[in-house]
Structure 1
């Protein structure tokens, strides 16, 4: 029995992003490890610690027994507190300790994924310790690792990987969350049609349709008279959707045609990951 075909895209996306992160951080000096990552309260080291911690949990390792300091201003939610444990426990690690643990963890995780024989619907530990399916766990890990690869590329001045397996995987994950942005976030009324037109290395056009009961769905069919059309490039799209860019800072990178009030509401609720 081999790895189930439905898991292969997530594994491929994870592998390329994980290897890229290891390559990006391997030559860093101690000072570069400690520079701000662009995420609130986290250095580059903290960001990599988060990746290591996520993979350790996916491997089934026990979580560290660790008490957080009370003065971490960026830890405001239970989700943030959960994630911070894996980060704070590594804050005093040296750069060789970080690269060594990252390499060892990725070797273990890569071996696990290559030998994965479980059914995609098998129950495993997922984000925040909640139980989920193996399919969803792998999907979330591949998405998370690609997003943090991009975080590192921006802070280190090493752009790239905006058109590989990880980018296409991230597109699919973000598009699945788009109907909720339009209905639950922006509060679009029934019969609303929102078109998202994205150009760049990953280009696509998708339509969110709100039915008579207020439920949203997304598809690739062209709409001739949308309520609003949001046009942008792929890099801006993923930065907005991942909470890395505020809508007001996007400037001319985002264009709205049609119902401006609804378009602005969609943008205000565009971030579905952080």
Structure 2
């Protein structure tokens, strides 16, 4: 048996992003590994450590036994503590140690994917002891690795791959969170619609319709007379959704129409990653 067709897009997206990450960090000198990234509290080394940790867990490796320092200001909840473990344990690794571990991990994960014969609905281990399907795990993983590739590109001044396979997975993951942002967090009026018009390397027009019960649904058809419309470019969209930039810092790249209180509430709750 081989990889299920439903899983192939996520394997392809991961492969594209992880190879890009390897190419980005291979030539770095030691000092460049300490550069700050848009991901709060994390350096280039920390981002690569996090990716290594994510992939080691996809491989089923045991988590490190490690005690976190108490002074990590960016770690404020259990999910962040869980993710920080794989990062902090590698904080003193040298550049050659980081690149060789990355190369070996890519070899192991490629072998795993070549031999993957499980059904997409198979339950696998998720963060903090949760369970999720293999399909959802691979989808989330492809999104995470692409988002962190973008963190590295920003830190290293090497933009690119905004329309790669991982970018399209990211679009779908982030759009899946949008109904809750609009209907629940921003408390959009019932029986209303909010339009998102996104342009750039990945472009789309999507409407969130809020029904009489206050539930939001994602639609690809435009809305007549929406309560609000937000127009922005793809890079700004995903950076906002991933918490890499604040609405205030990106204000000159966001055009809003309609109810100003509603658009402000949507932007205030736009970050959906932890």
TM bucket normalised to smaller: over 0.9
* Within-5 A mapping of 1:16-95: 16-95=16-95
State the 4+ residue runs in structure 1 displaced beyond 3 angstroms. Answer: none
Give the conservation status (yes or no) of the 8 Å contact 2:82–2:127: no
Query: Deviations 1:20-49 (Å, cap 9, x if unpaired)?
Result: 001100000000011222322221101100
Residue equivalent to 1:12: 12
* Within-5 A mapping of 1:229-244: 229-244=229-244
Give the conservation status (yes or no) of the 8 Å contact 2:146–2:166: yes
* TM-score for the superposition, normalised by structure 1: 0.98
Query: How far apart are residue 251 of structure 1 and its match?
Result: 2.0
Give the conservation status (yes or no) of the 8 Å contact 1:83–1:128: no
Residue 2 (structure 2) pairs with residue 2 (structure 1): yes
Query: How far apart are residue 192 of structure 1 and its match?
Result: 1.5
Q: CA RMSD in A?
A: 1.0
Query: Deviations 1:81-109 (Å, cap 9, x if unpaired)?
Result: 11111011111111100000011111111
Q: Distance in 2 between matches of 1:178 and 1:249?
A: 21
Query: How far apart are residue 54 of structure 1 and its match?
Result: 0.5
Matched pairs, number: 274
Q: Distance in 1 between matches of 2:128 and 2:53?
A: 11
Residue 171 (structure 2) pairs with residue 171 (structure 1): yes
Gap runs ≥5 in structure 1:
none
Residue 258 (structure 2) pairs with residue 261 (structure 1): no
Give the conservation status (yes or no) of the 8 Å contact 1:186–1:269: yes
Query: How far apart are residue 114 of structure 1 and its match?
Result: 2.1
Query: How far apart are residue 188 of structure 1 and its match?
Result: 1.1
Query: How far apart are residue 160 of structure 1 and its match?
Result: 0.2
Query: How far apart are residue 217 of structure 1 and its match?
Result: 0.5
Give the conservation status (yes or no) of the 8 Å contact 2:193–2:207: yes
Residue 209 (structure 2) pairs with residue 209 (structure 1): yes
Query: How far apart are residue 185 of structure 1 and its match?
Result: 1.0
Give the conservation status (yes or no) of the 8 Å contact 2:229–2:257: yes
* Within-5 A mapping of 1:154-165: 154-165=154-165
Query: Deviations 1:125-156 (Å, cap 9, x if unpaired)?
Result: 12334211100100010000000000000000
Give the conservation status (yes or no) of the 8 Å contact 1:256–1:263: yes
Query: How far apart are residue 263 of structure 1 and its match?
Result: 0.8
Q: Distance in 2 between matches of 1:73 and 1:245?
A: 18
Give the conservation status (yes or no) of the 8 Å contact 1:58–1:126: no
Q: Distance in 1 between matches of 2:235 and 2:24?
A: 19
Query: How far apart are residue 177 of structure 1 and its match?
Result: 0.5
Give the conservation status (yes or no) of the 8 Å contact 1:127–1:137: no
* TM-score for the superposition, normalised by structure 2: 0.98
Gap runs ≥5 in structure 2:
none
Q: Distance in 2 between matches of 1:220 and 1:201?
A: 18
Q: Distance in 1 between matches of 2:215 and 2:251?
A: 30
Residue equivalent to 1:225: 225
Q: Distance in 1 between matches of 2:240 and 2:128?
A: 23
Residue equivalent to 2:194: 194
SS of the residue corresponding to residue 6 of structure 2 reads: helix
